[in-house]
Structure 1
Amino acid sequence: MELRSVAVVGSGSPGGGMAQVPAEYGVVAARGADWADGLPVPLDVPPERVAAALAGARRLVVLDDDPTGTQTVRDVPVLTRWGVDDIAWALEQDTPGFFVLTNTRSLSPEDAAQRNREAAEAALTAAARAGVDLVFASRSDSTLRGHFPLETDVLSAVLAAHDEPVDGVLLSPAYIDAGRVTLDGVHWLRSPSGLTPAGESEFARDATFGYRASRLSDWVEEKTGGRIPRAGVRLVTLPELRGSTGALQQALSSAREGGVLVVDAVTDDDLRATALAVVEAEAAGIRLIYRVGPSFVRARLGQGAHQPLTDSQLDELTGDGHGLIAIGSHVGLTTRQLDRLAARVDPALIEVDVERIVTGDAASHVDEVVARAATALSDAPVVVSTSRRLRLGATAADSLDVSRRVSAALTEAVRRIVAARRPAYVVAKGGITSSDIATHSLGIDRAMVRGSLLPGIVSLWQAESGPSLGLPYVVFAGNVGDDDALADVVERLEGR
């Protein structure tokens, strides 16, 4: 395969530096530093235009496979339970959609399928009672990790059983704020060396959800085991999306039998243009499922990028004293962020030893962690982190089991620490970690997403009920921000 050195820097580029990318990857490989030059003029699609189009549109139910999908939005309900009454509460809120945190990325395929099925059935039951039409987004990782096509297959089956057969799956993993874009059908991630094809990133080597392809049509073929061949994936390119040919409308109107539609996206305006076309197609009777990253959800909710919460707003939310930071993510970025946090803020660092957890000493080890953390909170922010050396099982299923056991120990430790000494705030680092701490440690079942702490990333929830009412809860994905991001967030919360 021919490789070209590409400097992806300059105006309009989501990253900077040098990268080796296959020449077949199109415009980025061909143009290098000038890859954005010569593309069609960016669209101007204000959020208000999408918001106006949502009047009478289907209500969006975002089944989120970890809590980090909320980081791009504000003032939106989020549920960690999916009983009919919980969903009815969310439908009563004056919003165009809401999140249901299923946390399925931490589950086995069988359990993930069952949880999607339960949540979808409950949502359809609540919607029928309220006389509301729904559309489902299966929100997953912008670095392409998660249960695909399982989750969209389950949702399709549930809808078909309710006489609402699905015409197509919209695939849009873009996360504009974090530099994850799709161009020429190839998904790209920003890294210190520039734009990296997704299949060449560290995330593609994930022990459970690894993959090889960067071109999304190839990725679909890979993940479906050839059931959906690359030739069966329809791509709407950036020139088509930004042009006047109506290619996206044509592709949507011709969607049939669960085919996959990939849409290029480099800016939020691209995604809002897609959202407008989707709403129009749905009004005409087309039924879609969205398999998307965080940015399309924001577009479909009629929101634009918003400023982070101000210091005065944080002062109103946080209590006296210091905060608790729980870190479960093992990606390299999180480890670098933890190192920078330790250097800048000087927190108390307490490690959950993975080896002790998996070799049968979990209970006594958690006792030690809780006692040390509760004492240290009186003098400094406390970091409770899993040991940084990743322990893998013999198989993908074994690795997932190890991950669940370690997460359970960290979650139990946080629950007991908060009960022993209530912190001023809680930060959870990592998607699975964030979900488990929200539900099991803090008892959050209904909440509102109030906003972010950094532009487009790191959301702050406010519980609407339960034992953690009034405690700021910060959801921080493992794979976002620069090396200083965690330290920046903690310094703001500590009022430094």
Structure 2
Amino acid sequence: MTSVEELLAGLPPVRPVDPGEVTGGGHLVVLDDDPTGTQTVADVPVLTSWSVDDLRWGLRHPSRACFVLTNTRSLAAADATARNREVLDALVVAAEAEGVEPVVASRSDSTLRGHFPVETDALADDLARHGRPVDGVVIVPAFPDAGRITVDSVHWARTAAGMVPAGETEFARDATFGYRSSDLREWVEEKTGGRTAAADVLAITVADLRSGGPQHVAELLSGVRDRQPVVVDAACDDDLRVLASALLQAESRGTRLLYRIGPAFVRARIGQAASPPLDAAALRAYGSGHGLIAVGSHVGLTTAQLAGLRELGGVEEFELDVPTLLDPASRDDHVAEVSARAAEAMRRCDAVVRTSRTLVTGADADESLAIARTVSAALVDAVAATVRRHQPAFVVAKGGITSSDIATEALGIRRAITRGTLLPGIVSLWEPVAGGAAGTPYVVFPGNVGDEHALARVVGSLRS
């Protein structure tokens, strides 16, 4: 099995870039297909609604960025297209009202799951309609904090056994967003159904970033036209900062770029340094008491992390049985029973409400997605009923779609600020700023990051 050291052997040395050197450019607006994209940044606004007023609030923030939670990874392709266009139409109005120039990023999974090229096509079409035609689509899935790096255009993911090409991971077998290719040029060809050949994709390599530097990369980017896909290597934050500097140079010369990114890019693009996890003193400001952990993610890592949480102790678990949830005759009674028991448990310990661990899929991708939405809706209803009975001291949501649905539908979070991380670069804490959940720490924990003890460490930190 390949190690990180083997992948990086022989590459040019890292070109150090101070985060503060990455300045200027338009206001970065990240359309996030689930809420986990906030996991690398601090003090950045998050919107779960995209009215013009909400977007204007986000654009006023001094962080130079805001996240708009679209949750499109849980939608069918046609619905994802419509939602992206709806957000962009409102954004154009809000940006003109605030007098800012937005730069649009479509944030998706660092393991390559999501609606590509559906979302970038929708955004590029709409940008052209608003007089902002796109020259290039810059694809940067690398997320070094979580062990996802791109070298010579091949995307890799860290596993317990070592580094594995992305196309050979469990994520590539996703029932809805599966793929075969690990080389991002071939992945673009695969996902576009051959519309864009691998040979027509511009590749920016580690050598371009480290030996050529921002000026060289900016010259490469300045030559793209007609929405040409650009795939970019990155093995560390400094690689991403070189890219960010190059993008700013290319955009200052008039090149219009649309980004398709993983979480780490945002931190580099807005000039933030990686910050240490929130400490006990910061967390104590939110008060004390027992919390609620909601688990919808079904990947194997999440199941292992649940086992690690059991070892920590101080929790009671309540299972939502998926076959029961899919039966309309039994669903409501089952949800009511689980929520009542979880609320009662929070009076004495932390409570876990989780879906059963056996993955249930449909006959095709759309049917599998419909099942996932049904299960997620039941988990949302269970969490909403639980917090009505007993207000938790904190809420942890495990899984991308789970985190989005619980934030918007169970807790009614409309505006929040991401305050930092609980694990370095992979698990973020939001502070809701309005509504019934205002001031209650909300932890967005992706399903596919961390080791088997990560969930226990997060809950342990919150108990501090």
Under TM normalisation by the shorter chain, which class is it?
over 0.9
Question: Does the CA-based 8 Å contact 2:288-2:463 persist in structure 1?
Answer: no
Equivalents in 1 of 2:115, 2:228: separation in Å?
17
1:146 to 114, 133, 136: 114
Equivalents in 2 of 1:286, 1:234: separation in Å?
15
Match of 2:357 in 1: 388
Secondary structure, counterpart of 1:239 in structure 2: helix
Q: For 1:240-389, what aligned pairs fall within 5 Å after superposition? A: 240-244=208-212, 246-317=215-286, 319-360=287-328, 361-389=330-358
Q: What's the TM-score, normalizing by structure 1?
A: 0.92
2:404 to 420, 435, 441: 435
Secondary structure, counterpart of 1:244 in structure 2: helix
User: Is 2:83 the counterpart of 1:115?
Assistant: yes
State the shift of 1:244 in Å.
3.0
Q: For 1:231-246, what aligned pairs fall within 5 Å after superposition? A: 231-244=199-212, 246=215
1:267–1:205 Cα change, 3 Å: same
2:367 to 380, 398, 401: 398
User: Is 2:123 the counterpart of 1:155?
Assistant: yes
What's the CA shift string for 1:342-378, capped at 9, x where partnerless? 1222410100010001022111101101111111111
Match of 1:423 in 2: 392
User: Is 2:52 the counterpart of 1:84?
Assistant: yes
Match of 2:439 in 1: 470
Equivalents in 2 of 1:416, 1:375: separation in Å?
12
State the shift of 1:41 in Å.
1.1
1:180–1:371 Cα change, 3 Å: same
Match of 2:451 in 1: 482
Question: Does the CA-based 8 Å contact 2:204-2:231 persist in structure 1?
Answer: yes
Equivalents in 2 of 1:376, 1:95: separation in Å?
40
Secondary structure, counterpart of 2:306 in structure 1: helix
Question: Does the CA-based 8 Å contact 2:336-2:385 persist in structure 1?
Answer: no
1:46 to 3, 14, 18: 18
Which amino acid counterpart does residue 354 of structure 1 have in structure 2? Answer: V
What's the CA shift string for 1:245-265, capped at 9, x where partnerless? 754222211010000111110
Secondary structure, counterpart of 1:187 in structure 2: strand
Equivalents in 1 of 2:236, 2:411: separation in Å?
36
Q: How many residues align?
A: 462
User: Is 2:427 the counterpart of 1:455?
Assistant: no
State the shift of 1:465 in Å.
0.8
State the shift of 1:7 in Å.
4.2
Match of 1:3 in 2: none
Question: Does the CA-based 8 Å contact 2:34-2:69 persist in structure 1?
Answer: yes
Which amino acid counterpart does residue 366 of structure 1 have in structure 2? Answer: V
Match of 1:229 in 2: 197
Q: For 1:95-134, what aligned pairs fall within 5 Å after superposition? A: 95-134=63-102
Question: Does the CA-based 8 Å contact 2:106-2:260 persist in structure 1?
Answer: yes
Secondary structure, counterpart of 1:243 in structure 2: helix
Match of 1:29 in 2: none
Equivalents in 1 of 2:116, 2:8: separation in Å?
30
State the shift of 1:141 in Å.
0.1
Secondary structure, counterpart of 1:486 in structure 2: helix
Equivalents in 1 of 2:224, 2:8: separation in Å?
30
Question: Does the CA-based 8 Å contact 1:236-1:247 persist in structure 2?
Answer: no
Which amino acid counterpart does residue 476 of structure 1 have in structure 2? Answer: F
Question: Does the CA-based 8 Å contact 2:413-2:434 persist in structure 1?
Answer: yes
Equivalents in 2 of 1:408, 1:304: separation in Å?
37
State the shift of 1:237 in Å.
1.2
1:247–1:236 Cα change, 3 Å: farther
Equivalents in 2 of 1:274, 1:93: separation in Å?
24
Question: Does the CA-based 8 Å contact 2:46-2:415 persist in structure 1?
Answer: yes
Which sits farther off after the overlay, 240-249 or 211-220? 240-249
Question: Does the CA-based 8 Å contact 1:324-1:382 persist in structure 2?
Answer: yes
Equivalents in 1 of 2:273, 2:461: separation in Å?
24
Match of 2:104 in 1: 136
Secondary structure, counterpart of 2:230 in structure 1: strand
2:148 to 171, 175, 180: 180
Secondary structure, counterpart of 2:46 in structure 1: strand
Match of 1:192 in 2: 160
Secondary structure, counterpart of 1:82 in structure 2: coil
Secondary structure, counterpart of 2:212 in structure 1: coil
Equivalents in 2 of 1:432, 1:244: separation in Å?
39
What's the CA shift string for 1:258-282, capped at 9, x where partnerless? 0011111001000000000001111
1:34–1:320 Cα change, 3 Å: closer
Q: What's the TM-score, normalizing by structure 2?
A: 0.98
Which amino acid counterpart does residue 10 of structure 2 have in structure 1? Answer: G
Which amino acid counterpart does residue 44 of structure 1 have in structure 2? Answer: P
Question: Does the CA-based 8 Å contact 1:337-1:484 persist in structure 2?
Answer: yes
Which amino acid counterpart does residue 264 of structure 2 have in structure 1? Answer: S
Equivalents in 2 of 1:321, 1:42: separation in Å?
45
Equivalents in 2 of 1:395, 1:39: separation in Å?
42
Question: Does the CA-based 8 Å contact 1:345-1:491 persist in structure 2?
Answer: no
5+ residue gaps in structure 2? Answer: none
What's the CA shift string for 1:48-78, capped at 9, x where partnerless? 111xx22xx2110000000000000000000
Which amino acid counterpart does residue 345 of structure 2 have in structure 1? Answer: A
Q: For 1:202-217, what aligned pairs fall within 5 Å after superposition? A: 202-217=170-185
